[in-house]
C-alpha cells in the first residue's frame, strides 16, 4: 500500500543559515513550486518525486539534548552518488560528522538546527 516517501520536513529557526547548509554545503537546488504559506520555507528536490522541506517555524524542542551520534536519533537517510565529494564538502564547511557504526559506507551529521541526516553511498544499494 505505501509506495514511497515523498518528503521529509525539518524545522529551522534561521532559514538563511539553513539554506546556506542545504544549498551551499549539500548542493541542493530549490524547487520553485512551493505555494505561498503562512510561514516561510523552501522545498528541495532530492531525487525523483522526493523532497526535503524546510519550514521556518520555532523549534518546539529547543534545549533538548540530542545523542552525539545521529544514528541514535530520528533522522532521514539520503542516498549519495559520491561519498568522497560529500566528505570533502562537509570538511570544508567545518561540519562535524560520524561514520556509521554498522560498518556501511554511510555517515551522519546534523544541520544547523540539529536535525540528524544520514548519507549512504549509492553503491550500497546495488
Domain containing residue 49: CATH number: 3.10.180.10
Same domain, 87 and 45: no
Task: Tell me phi and psi for residue 29, to 5 degrees.
Answer: -110, 140
Say what percent of the chain tops pLDDT 90: 74
pLDDT beyond 90 at 29: yes
pLDDT of residue 122: 85
Q: Is residue 75 part of a domain?
A: yes
Report yes or no on 45 lying in a domain: yes
Same domain, residue pair 48 and 13:
yes
Of the pLDDT bands very low, low, confident and very high (cuts 50, 70, 90), residue 15 is: very high
Structural domains counted in the chain = 2
Q: How confident is the model at residue 104 (pLDDT cuts 50, 70, 90)?
A: confident
What 3 state SS string does 63-114 have? CCCCCCCHHHCCEEEEEECCHHHHHHHHHHHCCCEEECCCCCCEEEEECCCC
Quickly state the pLDDT bin for 14 (edges 50, 70, 90). very high
In this structure, the answer to whether residues 50 and 75 fall within a common structural domain is no
- Same structural domain for residues 51 and 83? no
For the chain, give the mean pLDDT: 92
- Are 121 and 74 members of one domain? yes
Asked whether the beta carbons of 77 and 120 are under 8 A apart, the reply is yes
Looking at residue 108, its pLDDT comes to: 96
Structural domain range at position 119:
70-125
In a domain, 23, yes or no: yes
What are 43-96's pLDDT values in tens digits? 999 988 999 999 999 888 888 898 888 888 999 999 999 999 999 999 999 999
Question: Using 50, 70 and 90 to split pLDDT, how confident is the model at 124?
Answer: low
- Domain presence at residue 1: no
pLDDT of residue 126: 46
Amino acid at each position: 500500500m505505501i509506495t514511497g516517501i515523498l518528503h521529509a520536513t525539518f524545522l529551522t529557526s534561521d532559514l538563511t543559515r539553513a539554506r546556506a547548509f542545504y544549498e551551499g554545503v549539500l548542493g541542493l537546488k530549490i524547487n520553485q513550486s512551493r505555494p505561498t504559506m503562512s510561514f516561510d520555507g523552501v522545498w528541495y528536490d532530492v531525487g525523483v518525486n522526493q523532497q526535503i522541506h524546510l519550514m521556518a517555524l520555532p523549534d518546539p524542542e529547543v534545549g533538548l539534548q540530542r545523542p552525539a551520534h545521529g544514528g541514535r536519533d530520528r533522522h532521514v537517510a539520503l542516498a549519495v552518488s559520491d561519498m568522497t565529494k560529500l566528505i570533502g564538502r562537509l570538511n570544508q564547511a567545518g561540519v562535524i560528522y560520524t561514520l556509521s557504526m554498522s560498518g556501511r559506507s554511510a555517515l551522519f551529521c546534523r544541520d544547523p538546527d540539529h536535525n540528524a541526516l544520514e548519507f549512504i553511498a549509492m553503491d550500497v544499494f546495488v
